[in-house]
Structure formats: structure tokens, C-alpha cells
Amino acid sequence: MSLLGIDVGTTGVKTVLIDEKGSLRAEATRAYPLHSPAPGWFEQDPEDWWAATVEAIRQVLKNGGAAGHDIKGVGLSGMYHGLVMLDQQGRVLRRSILWNDQRTARQSALIVEKVGRERLRRICATGGAPYFTACKLQWVRDNEPSIFDRVARIMLPKDYVRFRLTGEYCTDVTDASGTLFLDVAKRNWSEEIPGLLGVPRSILPNLVESAAVSGQVSAAGRAATGLLPGTPVAGGGGDQACAAVGMGIVREGVASLSIGTSGVIYAATGAPKTDSEGRFDTFCHAVPDTWCVLACINAAAGSHQWYQDKIAIWERAEAERRGTTIFAVLDELAARAPVGSGKLLFLPYLAGERHPHTDTDARGVWFGLHAGHGREHLIRSVLEGVAFCFRDCLEAMKSHGIPMREIRATGGGARSPLWLEIMANVTGQEILTMQADSGGASFGAALLGGVAAGVFQDVEQACDATVATGTAVHCDGTKAAEYGSLFEVFQSLYPALRESYRLLGAS
């Protein structure tokens, strides 16, 4: 007996097969193209997602020695905020505009003007920002009216895979939370906002909870994938919600810290929380009657990757010479620098910023650079700057009384012992790693599929039976105090530079 998890990500689709104890039986990935027709525009073809998913499902079944009848439940995960538009016959009308697309600043401002920031906060638990799906739909209406007039259904990226697999027009409450059309507290489509934006409610997909059955594999789905017709497919969730499930972030007091290309803090709450300054978002969680607060920084491991690509030329050659990774060489170099990088601070706003400062004009900065600084200070300051951003977001959450008794780390950056040590000392909290099989959006999606199929009673039981933490990284009080003084300086920099960022962006 196996459970199948499918995660439709920005660079590719990942599928996993796990058993009821959470042990990984097999995994497979397939990539697809990313299109950028103009600077800051990012699109993908939903048909590419489906083709890659079909290949990945067939490959993971083969790798796991499984047949369709072995799969008891399927769960879906995917990137938030993307816009998929279908016509009356279920045909894709244009490429999907993705979560990271930057063309919709004007539409975002107009939505805030039409709806009102306070009403947005009351209904959607956010003040609005350009990345939400509604902004993308308004952009299509403003710039491609002939396409907008033919829209019969909209959905999120993973939901197009569901549509092809089951024939159902459906999404879940976690993904719907990132659209600006959902009444987050009521966990249902808003009665007000679609009309205010000139969007017929009829084009919104059906809504389900993440662990509920959203449909069954159809005959067409079987012909494409080899899965058994009638296999239940869970509502699933946005990738951060599913990753949180995969890490056991399903009760108050436990939070996840994801150090991927972008960085995310995700914590479960028993009631929706709203920040008047928009320093974090509040979404429905994949657990019924549970919400989450999440904060995203745009360039976490992405800042490290930028440093690797643009600056670390010598270190890359050294890694090749030694037969190791550039990440390991850079960690060794950063470890030579003192705590605080000799009072050198790095603002990792290389792609604008989302939280706690929603500002597409924000840019990266090294502050405090002097002639005594070397390469070791530069790379360590990058690690510390990302950690300071995470603390900035954590402080905003804690100011609303959200408990953070335990933080669990995941993502590529979590494989760096030095970076985790820095994270623990900057945030002042112990950080737990995850065991190899636990964590990840596809793993969490598979657990949701297990709940939908009746393998588990509920999401909490699924996590208790399968999720395992690894080692603990402890906070050093002395180092934490040093970072505390520097954090005050770090927090002062963005407000001091905000107007300069705006002027630079307008020049």
C-alpha cells in the first residue's frame, strides 16, 4: 500500500511514493520550461505541467515497483498565486502567470483602491500585494480583454493537474487563500470582493478542505498515468501548506523555517491573525479550523546562489579542485569570519521584498563595508543578513502572541550546519532539522492523500505516525547577544533607505 504525492513547482514537478509509516519508497522529478516574455514576467504552459506530471507518475510507479492498484490515495501540492484560465470547453486560454511575476503593481494598487485596505484585511487577512492571483486576472482584463471575455473557469497551478487527472474544477482553502477572492476566516469565497472587481463568482472553482476528497482518478486520468480509476484525490494545498504538513506543523507552537530560493516562516494558529502593517500573511491551513501565519523573504538561498554565481569565482575553482561542493567551500570561508562579520551587514533584497516589507523597489545592500573586510566577511554577512530577515518576520509574528516553542528547518540552506547555527543564534531559538524522509511539499501532499483515502483519521494523526525530526541546533547565549545589538542596526536600515529605493526605481 502506497500514497502518492505530487508537487507542481516552479522548476518542475516532483512525485513521491510513501508507505503508511512515512518511509519513502520512490521519487521522481520532471522539469518544464519557464518563459519570460518581458523583464520581470514569468509564465508557464499548464500543458507542460500535465505532461511532466504524467511522466513523473509513471516513473515513480516504476521506481517503486508499484502498480496503479497499489496507490490508495493521491495528494496534490503546487505553487501559490499562479493564474490558470480555461474556456467553456476546458481549454487553456493562455500561459499561466506565475507567483513571482512582477507586472501587476498597477492592478494591485487599483484593487486596494476599489476594495479598501481595511476591507481587504478584514476579509482576506491581508492588505493586498501584487503577487495575489486577483491582480493577475485584473491584468489580463486590462491588457488582454479578448482572453478575459472567454474565461469560464480560473484555478491555481496544481488544480489544472487535478482537472486533467479527475475532470473536477476544484481548489482547496489553502491555495484559495492566496487569490484575494477568499474570505479567510469563513474559509469560503468572499460574497463581496469578486463583484467589486467585476469577476463573476461562477468562474471560481469549487472549494474543499485540503484532506477532503476532491475527486477520483478518471478513465482519462488512468489512460495517461496508469493510476486506478476511482482512486481518491485529496484537495491538497499550496506548497507551503503541504510542506508544513510534511514537517508536522499542524498545531500551535510549532513553526517551520524553509531556507529555499525564497525563505518562508510558517506557523499554525487556532484563529486567523491579521497584521495592520502587512508584515505577514494569514492563510487557511491544511488542517480544518486551523489557520497559519506565513512570511516570505524573496531571496534566502537565492542570495547565496547569487553570491556563488557572481562573486565566488575562486571558491568555485577551489571546490572543483578538491572534488567538493562550492557550498562547503563557502561555509569554511564564512566560518573564519567573526560573529557579525566585522560589523558588516547585508540586506538581501535582491528581488525586491515581500515580508516584512512589501516593496518591489527594495534592493540589496552591504552596509558598513571597510578596507579590512575580506571574502570571508562578505559571504558570512550574506548568511547573517538572511537570518536577520527571518528574525524580522518572527518578531512581527510574536508581537501578535503567536507562540514559537519549536522551529523546524528545511530547504537547501538547512543542509549547512553553519547557516543553521547562525539562524539559531540570530533568532535566539533552538532549531530542529528533519529526518531524511520527512518534510517537503510532495511528502505532505501524500499524507493529505492518505487522510482522504481513510488511511489516517486526520491530518494530525498522519503527521504523528510519519513525521520525524533530526538533530537540534542550540542557541549560544553569548553569540545571540552580539547578534541582538546588530539586529537593531539591521532593522533601522530599510526605513532609512525606503525613499531612496523609490527614487532609484523611478529613475
Q: Where are the beta strands (DSSP E) in 328-402?
A: 345-347, 365-367
Evaluate the CA torsion angle 365, 132, 195, 208 in order and state its sign.
Answer: negative
Do 293 and 282 form a contact (C-beta atoms < 8 A)? yes
Instruction: Say what percent of the chain tops pLDDT 90.
Output: 88
Specify the pTM: 0.90
Q: Residue 278's pLDDT is what?
A: 85
- Per-residue pLDDT, averaged over 191-197, amounts to 95
Least confident stretch, 270-279, 381-390, 454-463: 270-279
Q: pLDDT band for position 268 (50/70/90)?
A: very high
State the catalytic residues: 239
In this predicted structure, the answer to whether residue 377 has a pLDDT above a threshold of 90 is yes
Q: And the C-alpha cell for 180?
A: 484575494
What does the alpha-carbon distance between residue 497 and residue 501 come to, in Å, rounded to a whole number? 6
Backbone angles phi, psi at 31, to 5 degrees: -90, 165
Spell out the domains of the chain, with CATH numbers in brackets: 2-242 (3.30.420.40), 301-402+476-502 (3.30.420.40)
Q: Residue 40's pLDDT is what?
A: 86
What does the alpha-carbon distance between residue 100 and residue 42 come to, in Å, rounded to a whole number? 7
Residues 6+ apart with CB under 8 A from 287: 210, 211, 245, 250, 268, 458, 459, 460
pLDDT digits (tens, 9 = 90+) for 250-266: 999 999 999 988 899 99
- Per-residue pLDDT, averaged over 317-345, amounts to 96
Q: Residue 349's pLDDT is what?
A: 96
In this predicted structure, the answer to whether residue 503 has a pLDDT above a threshold of 90 is yes
- Per-residue pLDDT, averaged over 464-482, amounts to 94
Q: Residue 150's pLDDT is what?
A: 97
